[in-house]
Structure 1
């Protein structure tokens, strides 16, 4: 037995974009046939598309996404233990758990900067609760509903979570509207300014909505990016700004009305999408038709009616001037020109003087019309879907990215006499000409041994980065797939 050359025992990863090259691989030549060495096992990985570098920020994002539940639970437990074990700290820690600025004589609440502690608590709670419900409740529900694709399961759980959230907050908002003077009465939205005191349910509702939309700014970068990623991101910024400023300027009534007409539409869209992922296309088309009708009526009729009311009715109901925030008594006819000082009044000095002027009116109107521009763009996309339904293609969310083949690496294991290579979807065996540096051995036929591989002995799917960031994810995590989902990796260009 003669050996011309000894080669390394391991191959590592072979990344290629063209036809695979199998140079410098150990094999045995038996007669005119060349086979890989039976005593060694090699792994080859082929990349369908160009690999993108995983930076430190992207890796930290991936770690955060993988540990949302753990991070949230640890923060909440730390806060709870501080509240229990350190009595002196309770005057601070109770602000996270309880609504602040309660007046026991009237059993009503007012606004203040301490409300931001309560908002921070709910942001952390939503982060962990969303992941917990999606992973342990909604993902099994998706499997039970016949959703098999990984991407479809992710979409299903995202939309189902929105249904869970809106079912609680939208019904709470409708309850508040129904028991108010501004139920289908736009003029009452502007009366009794400044409306400083509010019921406990209204305060809870408004602050929880604020926390939800702040958390949605993070979520829009956690979910796999859609084609309208930046429109969605801008929408969440404007919505959060409107909630924050309307709360500080004692305009919770109009905020309640706008949130109600927005949230109901989102429920209809989420239901239609879930029906599609479950394969109920006919019912999905019917639900989509209801969604289109509700979208048009709520976001392009009633919403614009509120904008019109700000333009036409506010000047006759809310006079420019300065008011005592507690009593509502007008003390000055001059409202000045300052915007931010008055809009932030509820956070700065909830018991002092607040002023209203034309700059504030046009500022709120401008933000609402900016949101209307985004919804008009989305309505154009919806019209494309309507055309698809009419033409027989079925309802398809044109905002979503493609649901086709996923960008994944392929791993090929070599053991014994088999050397299959997946290339362009076809399984091929390398020809002898692809081995340029042979290792010759004289082996008798009786000495040949071809070990059998069971499916359970296959090693977990694992990728290797070109460089290490010093942070590893536990378990068989596909980092490329994960980074694509959270938006930390560069999204694929839309068609």
Structure 2
């Protein structure tokens, strides 16, 4: 399939999606080790020891090619150990904390909070690693080839953005559904303070919130571990992830989860439209420019109007609506200490979003001035990447 040269829409550095294990650059050392394994596997084994070595090398090579196998192994080993272990034993009880939500309140549909939630988040960070890598390797890479995307740089970006559509589209929809059952439906701010503190939640709310925490923890770890050439907005990207993780933990610990839910939804929905906009560019769709403009409107409404509305409520309603005191016994933390912290973290997130909005308007300007314009990551760079890989091989 003949493909046209892409516009800047698909390549501008914007959004919350970190690289995955399967889209990281493969080092020369990794490729060399793979070649050595393939040479060893081609040799005919003559002893049992060599057969075992060949099985081990086959497993390593398979994991090198299919990055979802390692996390799946951890998940299966965990579930298997849980099922066969003594229900009264410490191992079984520990794994139960990892696999299932903790602190159900007897006689109600509510769940409390506690240190066991850290185990749950850590375990499902591993799950999201598996799920993401599985989708990348098994479905999204073949899908990219199916649509005629062959340059490795574009394939990787297509995979990342298509996965973001899957995850953020699902989580944004779930977040809206959960919000619809609460007084804060459609981003109301006053109920966040009237009913504070929110010390318990139903199962759906708790799983959603901790699931978001697990996703962002996984994203943050991958971002720290990634070895590819950093994006041009690398520091802003890292700063965004640090602020996001801090907001999640502090909002959960100090019971500002209704506010956190609203911010989650604004991020997830806007990222869904961002992923669709970029993917349409990679596919060379004729509606990429109209959809880019739609994405801009959604981004401005969600990431700026709604978030500024929440910021304004922190200034005007945080103190005047509901109780205003610091009481560690009753877990009442809406006070003179938490107000500047809450405002500062959301404002910091807003600063990163404003920087990304500047990039959005820069792309719009380039489109208005006559169409595609060269951006920081060009198709020529993709060709250079492929050429370098060929030389190493």
- TM-score tier by shorter-chain length is 0.7 to 0.9
- Equivalent residue number for residue 96 of structure 1: 98
Say which of 305, 310, 320 aligns to 2:309: 305
- Equivalent residue number for residue 203 of structure 1: 206
- Structure 1 unaligned segments of length 5 or more: list them: 1-52, 324-341, 343-350, 412-460, 464-477, 479-495
More strand by share: 1
Matched ranges for 1:268-287 at <5 A: 268-280=273-285, 282-287=286-291
Matched ranges for 1:356-367 at <5 A: 356-367=334-345
Query: What per-residue deviation string (whole Å, max 9, x for no partner) do you get for residues 278-320 of structure 1?
Result: 111x311111100111111112211101000001111111433
- Structure 2 unaligned segments of length 5 or more: list them: 1-26, 34-59
Measured in 1, the distance between the counterparts of 2:74 and 2:148 equals 36
* Structure-2-length-normalised TM-score: 0.78
How far does residue 78 in structure 1 lie from its aligned partner after superposition? 2.1
Q: Could you tell me whether the CA contact under 8 Å between 1:134 and 1:157 is conserved in 2?
A: yes
Measured in 1, the distance between the counterparts of 2:85 and 2:238 equals 40
Is 1:174 the counterpart of 2:176 in the alignment? yes
- Equivalent residue number for residue 314 of structure 1: 318
Say which of 395, 403, 410 aligns to 2:379: 403
Q: How many residues align?
A: 330
Measured in 2, the distance between the counterparts of 1:66 and 1:248 equals 40
- Equivalent residue number for residue 378 of structure 1: 356
- Equivalent residue number for residue 162 of structure 1: 164
Measured in 1, the distance between the counterparts of 2:378 and 2:373 equals 14
Is 1:267 the counterpart of 2:272 in the alignment? yes
- Equivalent residue number for residue 84 of structure 2: 85
In our comparison, the structure showing a higher alpha carbon Rg is 1
What secondary structure does 2:384 align onto? coil
Q: Could you tell me whether the CA contact under 8 Å between 1:389 and 1:395 is conserved in 2?
A: yes
Say which of 198, 211, 216 aligns to 1:213: 216
Q: Could you tell me whether the CA contact under 8 Å between 2:193 and 2:321 is conserved in 1?
A: yes
Measured in 2, the distance between the counterparts of 1:98 and 1:410 equals 46
Measured in 1, the distance between the counterparts of 2:322 and 2:67 equals 45
Is 1:188 the counterpart of 2:191 in the alignment? yes
What secondary structure does 1:225 align onto? coil
Measured in 2, the distance between the counterparts of 1:141 and 1:203 equals 34
How far does residue 220 in structure 1 lie from its aligned partner after superposition? 3.4
- Equivalent residue number for residue 117 of structure 2: 115
Q: Could you tell me whether the CA contact under 8 Å between 1:163 and 1:271 is conserved in 2?
A: yes
Query: What per-residue deviation string (whole Å, max 9, x for no partner) do you get for residues 207-237 of structure 1?
Result: 0001111111134354763211221111011
More helix by share: 2
Q: Aligned pair in 2 of structure 1 residues 65, 356: CA closer, same or farther (>3 Å)? A: farther
- Equivalent residue number for residue 246 of structure 2: 241
Q: Could you tell me whether the CA contact under 8 Å between 1:220 and 1:232 is conserved in 2?
A: no
Measured in 2, the distance between the counterparts of 1:303 and 1:156 equals 29
- Equivalent residue number for residue 41 of structure 2: none
Measured in 2, the distance between the counterparts of 1:315 and 1:139 equals 51
